[in-house]
A and B are shown apart, each in its own frame.
Chain A
Amino acid sequence: MKDLTFGTLIAVFEEIFGRGLFWVMVGAAVIITLAYLYVLIRDRSVSWHKFLWAQLSMPFGAIAAVLFVQAMTHSSFADIGGPVDVIVLLGVAVAGAVGAAILVYTVESLLWPKKATDA
């Protein structure tokens, strides 16, 4: 592949999802991330109670992400052919897990603001 620059990467992503959808998703991602930072700053600490729920959501996020990618690409676990494939698979899973955790934590914090009982 020639010249894999950041500009190329953006162009390729725009083509995968369509220009409109891609930037809407980027926007949604930025909003969720900002909301997460907002609740962190607002609450001035991580709520371990909420973090527990967020952690519990991680395996589900991981599995959902992997199944989603496989369904979208006509693939299965049997297609793993080498170390790099395992890395890709783990990457997808970690992405799903972390994403789910951030989402759950943020939604919880927005819906149920900090309680006195929270550590």
Chain B
Amino acid sequence: MTKETQFTPTRRGFLGLAAGAGVLAAAGAGQKAEAQIATTAHIVILGAGAAGAALANRLVGRLDGARITIVDGRKEHWYQPGFSLIAAGLKPANYSVSQTTDWLPRGVELKTEMAANIDPEAKTVALGNGEVLRYDYLIIATGLVLDYDSIDGFEMDMIGKDGVGSLYAGPDYAAKTWAAAGKFAEEGGVGLFTRPNTEMKCAGAPIKHTFLIDDIARRNGARGKAEITYFANNASLFGVPIVSEKIRMVFGDRGINHAYNHVVQSIDAGAKRVTFATPDGPVERDYDYVHIIPPQRAPDVVRNSGLAWADKWTDQGWVDVDKHSLRHNRYPDIFAVGDVAGVPKGKTAASVKWQVPVVEEHLVADIAGTSSTASYNGYTSCPLITRIGRAMLIEFDYNNDLTPSFPGVIAPLEELWISWLMKEVALKATYNAMLRGRA
């Protein structure tokens, strides 16, 4: 994309001319020229993460007079795709940390509380401090919760010690994960890399971690002493069959073992042993390093509100929405966007980028008294790192079709430097631009 041009000050001589000439055009073209819709509706957004912040920024530009309230009790905003790099020692913990307030537009009110209860009949949301908000439209963008409690014997303070890693838990835990993983990559031993048996955000992340630690052990000259195994939760390595096969081949090339239908049930950190649930009963494995990713579910506020699917993902509680419009199937004034939405794919920040404009269009159309045909096709993307310096840019939709953004230029199933550059340089910038409603 833009990689080849951004680093040399002198090349900017050319870019600069183009950019300089384009500034005036961009100033106009960057913002949508659509007329604002006048309204007094109260829109409540739960969660100021990737999806909530992006939608708030876009709605402010589309609506005139709307009251927009965004609810999030977490002061820090986390750029989660960075966790994979932090847990490989490539970035410091603060690479992923900013403030929630950095991303919110003027004119939006932030409630620094968590939503505690939703009443979709009365159209109210109760906050942790007891305050009750009445809404006309409700956007659920709370992301998901990591259910560490469901792994017997697991305590958060194990992370980073005695060969236990868990990079999902947050930027600091990702850094602690590197302490444990880095030691394994120097000393070798038995490394177990796992994933949960629920839907999960960025299903490529457990695999990226496996490849990165394999590569770092190689660079340390310790790969000969390390035995690395990736444990899939079901009978495939990735939800998209063609990608699963490709990963199997690359695992083969790297000498990474894999096992199917293994789900972590419990851990005994003292004995350095995990127990997997498998179709043939429990299986125990000793480790020198284990990477744990816990089961992932919708937050309690969603699961207890009667808004979740009744007949799908009943142990996980994702919001019961239409997979194309992201509108709630029973309460038309409620939408879900981001990780919490009950759709078959799409738990990535890249999906958020495609989902947010769809919700925006439907919401604005409702307010204007018209209708919208905007539709989300399941687009999900994952720069699947296969070593430091190379990645596969994997993009797909609900049909498990590959949907490359740069067909014929960036091959999706090839390990490329350009795809690594995307992850390392362009992804965070694109993510930030998305948060501001500009991408």
Contact = CB atoms under 8 A, between A and B. Distances in A.
Contact of A81 (B10, B388, B415): B415
Contacts of B409: 84
Contacts of B26: 6-7, 10
Contacts of B122: none
Nearest to A76: B389
Nearest to A29: B16
Contact of B389 (A1, A11, A36, A79): A79
Interface in B1-24: 1-17, 19-20, 22-23
A102 B13 contact: yes
Contact of A29 (B15, B22, B417, B438): B15
Nearest to B389: A79
B429 interface: yes
A27 B9 CA distance: 11
Contacts of B289: none
A4 to B, nearest CB: 7
B90 A99 contact: no
Interface stretch (B37-45, B148-156, B237-245, B418-426): B418-426
Given A6-B29, A81-B414, A81-B416, A29 B12 contact: yes
Given A6-B25, A65-B8, A12 B13 contact: no
Interface residues of B, number: 57
A81 B390 contact: yes
B417 A81 contact: yes
B19 A32 contact: no
Contact of A91 (B4, B17, B426): B4
Nearest to A74: B388
A9 interface: yes
Contact of A8 (B13, B16, B20, B433): B433
Contacts of B430: 1, 12, 15
A95 B12 CA distance: 9
Given A65-B11, A88-B4, A99-B13, A10 B417 contact: no
Contacts of A7: 26, 29-31, 438
A103 B420 contact: no
The B interface is mostly helix, strand or loop, or mixed, namely helix
B126 interface: no
Nearest to B430: A12
B90 A74 contact: yes
A74 B4 contact: no
A117 interface: no
Contacts of A29: 9, 12-17, 19-20
A27 B436 CA distance: 24
B329 interface: no
Contacts of B323: none
Nearest to A37: B17
A7 B12 CA distance: 17
Interface string B45-73: 00000000000000000000000000000
Contact of A99 (B11, B387, B417): B11
B364 interface: no
Interface string B230-260: 0000000000000000000000000000000
Contact of A75 (B5, B22, B415, B417): B417
Interface in A66-84: 68-69, 72-76, 78-82, 84
Given A7-B438, A16-B429, A28-B16, 7 more contacts: A9-B2, A14-B433, A29-B19, A72-B425, A75-B421, A79-B387, A89-B417
8 contacts: A7-B26, A10-B22, A11-B436, A36-B13, A73-B424, A92-B8, A95-B8, A95-B10
